Amino acid sequence: MARKPLIAGNWKMNLNHLEAIALVQKIAFSLPAKYFDKVDVTVIPPFTDIRSVQTLVEGDKLLLTYGAQDVSAQDSGAYTGEISGSMLAKLGCTFVVVGHSERRTLHGEDNDTVLAKTKAALKNGITPIVCIGEGLDIREAGQHVSYNVEQLRGSLAGLSAEDIAKVVIAYEPVWAIGTGRVASAADAQEVCAAIRATLGELASPDVASGVRVLYGGSVNAKNVGEIVGQTDVDGALVGGASLKADEFATLSAIAAGGPLP
Ligand SMILES: O=C(CO)COP(=O)(O)O
């Protein structure tokens, strides 16, 4: 099944709502409509920027989409500081990142939490981008494939094939995030292929062939072509390079198969 590449820019805790508007305008200007037939492009700003991004995207009928970096596992109630899936749906979010390694590490999110948040996204019609990835110790011990397969199984445990068909998976080796140390294209392919095989077991080969599996970790305009050229890599979750309009537009164009803007 042909899978349309997805380039998702995870801004992390960067840019206020005014800076967000400026960046989205620049990206949209740099990436004319013709590219969007061949690549889906989404920005994932902090919560406080989303309303402004929504107003801009809807007002100017931009073709890029947007999402959030996290979602509560709860529907509503006494959960100070949490943001619900229905709130994000109301803001027009297409995607939500779930289980990013920074949340797994800094906020103690385990697979059960990630699963609950994945369900919260699905319940509200938002596509979860479920993140998995090994640390350097696991990679050096040669355990990365089995580690990622187990993390994937835990993060999707009990979901129906119909639900699995609606998720995006992001493989982000922790040692490659923000370090400038990108996994080789072969490394990315090895784990992404194992992810797809596992999705085949959890759902069906047919479902697995339609699910987008992204790579993330020091992706930039120079390395994105080789990475998304791999059979089982369907795009990228981009951190640092997504904060620069020109670079993000260029790498999105490369993922679309060109030409460069
Ligand atoms: O964590 C990432 C995206 O979610 C990757 O970040 P960098 O692209 O800055 O390495």
Question: How do residues 204-255 score in pLDDT, each as one tens digit?
Answer: 999 999 999 999 999 999 999 999 999 999 999 999 999 999 999 999 999 9
Distances (CA, A) of 243 to 19, 44, 116, 259: 10, 11, 29, 21
pTM for the model stands at 0.98
Name 16's bridge partners: none
* Positions marked active-site: 100, 172
12 annotated as ligand-binding: yes
Q: Which atom of ligand 1 lies nearest, measured to the CA of 131? A: 4
Taking the CA atoms of 128, 187, 192 and 235 in sequence, report the sign of the dihedral they define. positive
Model pLDDT, residue 215: 98
Contact 210, 1 (CB under 8 A): yes
The answer, yes or no, to whether any atom of ligand 1 lies below 6 A from the CB of 216, is: yes
Contact 171, 196 (CB under 8 A): no
Q: How confident is the model at residue 1 (pLDDT cuts 50, 70, 90)?
A: low
> Could you tell me the domains of the chain?
6-130+144-172+217-256 (3.20.20.70)
**Averaged pLDDT for residues 77-91:** 98
Contact 87, 79 (CB under 8 A): no
Q: What is the dihedral of CA 173, 174, 175, 180, to 10 degrees?
A: 90
Q: What is the ipTM of this complex?
A: 0.99
178 annotated as ligand-binding: yes
The answer, yes or no, to whether any atom of ligand 1 lies below 6 A from the CB of 172, is: yes
Model pLDDT, residue 261: 83
